[in-house]
Amino acid sequence: MNNSKAWTLLVIGGFLEVGWAVGLKYAHGFTDLKWTLITLVIMVFSFYCFGYSLSKLEIGTAYAIYTGIGAVGTVLYGVFFLQEDMSLPRILFLILLIGSILGLKLIEGGDEV
């Protein structure tokens, strides 16, 4: 696998993390069987993409980016679809998190394991 594919899988895994985090909300403590099963399937694919990307990427950077995408995406989902509050501090910290993710990607070097 080349580095480009590894980064693509990492980003896909991060977006799938948003899916399973949101799925957990709708599973209502694993009492809704349909949402529980959907969440588990998404979770497996998310971890597969993340794990497979680690064959080329540094684990610290990859994990930070994976969880960062999940965190930002989950917050944005909550704001836009669940009517959660979006305060100025929350916006500033999201910008800081996005900047940190981009910074880690920019300084990533020596991707070969």
What tens digit of pLDDT does each residue of 29-80 get? 999 999 999 999 999 999 999 999 999 999 988 999 999 999 999 999 999 9
- As a whole number of angstroms, the distance between CA 108 and CA 64 comes to 12
Query: What pLDDT score does 111 carry?
Result: 44
Task: List alpha helices for 1-113, DSSP H.
Answer: 3-27, 33-53, 59-81, 88-107
Query: What pLDDT score does 109 carry?
Result: 61
Of the two residues 3 and 34, the one the predictor is more confident about is 34
Q: How confident is the model at residue 1 (pLDDT cuts 50, 70, 90)?
A: confident
pLDDT at 102 exceeding the cut of 70: yes
What domain count does the chain have?
1
Query: What does pLDDT average to over the chain?
Result: 91
104 DSSP 8-state letter: H
Query: What pLDDT score does 105 carry?
Result: 79
Query: What pLDDT score does 113 carry?
Result: 39
The parent domain of residue 10 ranges over: 3-107
Q: Which amino acid is at 100?
A: S
- Residue range 96-102: average pLDDT? 88
Q: Is residue 15 part of a domain?
A: yes
User: Would the CA dihedral through 29, 35, 44, 9 be positive or negative?
Assistant: negative
Q: Is residue 112 part of a domain?
A: no
Q: Is residue 113 part of a domain?
A: no
Phi and psi at residue 112, in whole multiples of 5°? -70, 135
Cβ atoms of residues 70 and 18 within 8 Å = yes
pLDDT at 110 exceeding the cut of 70: no
Q: Is residue 38 part of a domain?
A: yes
